[in-house]
Amino acid sequence: MDSVKQVNITSKILIVGFVLTLMACSSSEFEDLQQYIKEVKSRPGAPIAGLPEAKPYERFLYQDGDLRDPFKPTIKATAKAGPSGANQLRPNIGRDSEALESFPLDALRMVGSLKQDNQKWGIVKTTDGFIYRVKRGNHVGKNFGKITQITDSEIKITEIISDGMGGWLERQAALKISE
């Protein structure tokens, strides 16, 4: 029992000594730091910049003159377009898709052409660096594009796009040769 009391007394003495040491350090050692903090706090603050000047609203008056009416569609409906039953233009969704149909047209570049056994071929490079050989009738692009003509400088494509009203429209596109 005596040893337990002696340990308790020793630990209490150590704790009191530690607290007294901390109190002595805090009062004299950091006096210059506390003085500096008071000095900084007493300095006047910098002036705050004012708000930026707001520009007045400028009204725009639309003069239609020779400009297009912004409330009319830009695509003109043809006999092939529209949701009517007479519309025979539809993409063939049931066929197997070709490799270049997984790329949008702007990700494809024509890099050349060749002729082999009276067949004209176009050489197309994708953004991931692969080279493909295409011919008339192949499908390319995300909009059901079909190659209609291959020349030395371009590949002409007819795409079938939605008209937004349940029908389909044909749109012409081309891949021009790039270096």
For 61-87, write each residue's pLDDT tens digit. Answer: 877 777 777 777 766 555 444 454 455
At position 73, the amino acid (one-letter code) is P
What is the pLDDT at residue 158? 94
Higher local confidence (pLDDT), 166 or 23: 166
Closest CA to 175 of 164, 163, 145: 145
| 20 vs 14 pLDDT, higher one | 14
Rounded average pLDDT over 5-32: 75
Interatomic CA distance for residues 114 and 135, integer angstroms: 10
Q: For residues 107 and 145, is the Cβ–Cβ distance under 8 A?
A: no
In the predicted structure, residue 101 carries a pLDDT above the cut 80 = yes
Q: In this prediction, what percent of the chain has a pLDDT beyond 90?
A: 39
Question: How many other CB atoms are there within 10 angstroms of residue 110's CB atom?
Answer: 21
The neighbouring-strand residues paired with 171 are: 159
The confidence score (pLDDT) of residue 74 equals 67
Residue with tokens 């009203």: 165
Q: Looking at residue 87, what is its pLDDT? A: 59
Q: Is the pLDDT of residue 135 over 70?
A: yes
H helices of 1-128, in order, are: 2-28, 31-42
- 21 confidence band (pLDDT: 50, 70, 90): confident
Tell me what pLDDT residue 19 has.
Answer: 77
Sheet harboring 131-134: ordered strands across?
108-116, 119-126, 131-134
d(CA 94, CA 153): 32
Quote the Cα angle for 36-40-41, to 5°: 115
Q: 3-state DSSP call for residue 139?
A: strand
Task: Report pTM.
Answer: 0.53
What is the residue-averaged pLDDT of the chain?
83
**Higher-pLDDT residue of 179, 130:** 130
Q: Output the pLDDT for position 65.
A: 74
Average pLDDT score over residue span 106-120: 92
